[in-house]
Amino acid sequence: MLTKRLTGRAINPHLFRAMGATLLAEDAPDDVFAAADLLSHKHRATTERHYIRARNLKANQRVAGLVSKAKKRAG
């Protein structure tokens, strides 16, 4: 597999598509549904349900940051 040879890790086509949609959502959050066009989805709900993980990732990062700050203040 080309990705294994280039990066040391195999990335299957499905994951590669998900990564592309997620990166697009992270870089252009106001235009997240451009990923639907990128992935040729007929319905944007398919893109949102299966591919766009950026919102959850950002929320998790924000919560982790707040917890870290709270721990520093308490410690």
Q: What are the sequence ranges of the domains in the chain?
A: 2-74
Distance CA 38, CA 40 (A): 6
pTM for the complete prediction?
Answer: 0.53
* Cβ neighbours of residue 28 closer than 8 Å, sequence gap 6 or more: 34
Both tokens of 67, joined, read: 């917890």
Comparing CA positions, the residue from 72, 52, 49 lying closest to residue 64 is: 72
Render each residue's pLDDT in the chain as its tens digit; 75 residues: 788 888 888 888 888 888 887 788 778 777 767 888 878 888 888 877 766 666 677 777 888 888 888 888 887
Indicate the SS3 state at residue 41.
coil
Integer-rounded Cα radius of gyration of the chain: 16
